[in-house]
Structure 1
């Protein structure tokens, strides 16, 4: 119980991305703004808590899935077909 109490006492208040540095970093990625959904929000909070835009995550696993289903040729895609591969490579 002592460890728990000490851990709770050591927790400091965090200001989420006070200078916009994390949001700027996310906006520079070659992906549509907001396309990662809540993951962008999680990344912002995590980096703020860790105090670094390059905060390590131990034991991480990433699944990257993409598909090219001919949507671009139908004229309803926001991006040309070539962009799919580029975006996936940027995720990696």
Structure 2
């Protein structure tokens, strides 16, 4: 599974874990015998459930908030949570 949360952020999963990744906007050099490279991602963590990955995404988004007071920060957090809820059914 690979779910785009927002912009360059994705949650991927396999049979053991969920991974929060961010596309860097870069493409790797093609491997020997290949004509194209693959997109490069920054991994923000590995989680046992999708809620853990979503929580990490929330923390990253809060860290980039430009809120100037507590009321603005609370509004930002609620907005981000609502966006996550729409993307991932909790």
TM-score normalized with structure 2 length: 0.27
Larger gyration radius, structure 1 or structure 2: 1
- Where is the strand percentage greater, Structure 1 or Structure 2? 2
TM-score normalized with structure 1 length: 0.27
Q: Using CA pairs below 8 Å that are at least 6 residues apart, which structure has the higher relative contact order?
A: 1
- Where is the helix percentage greater, Structure 1 or Structure 2? 1
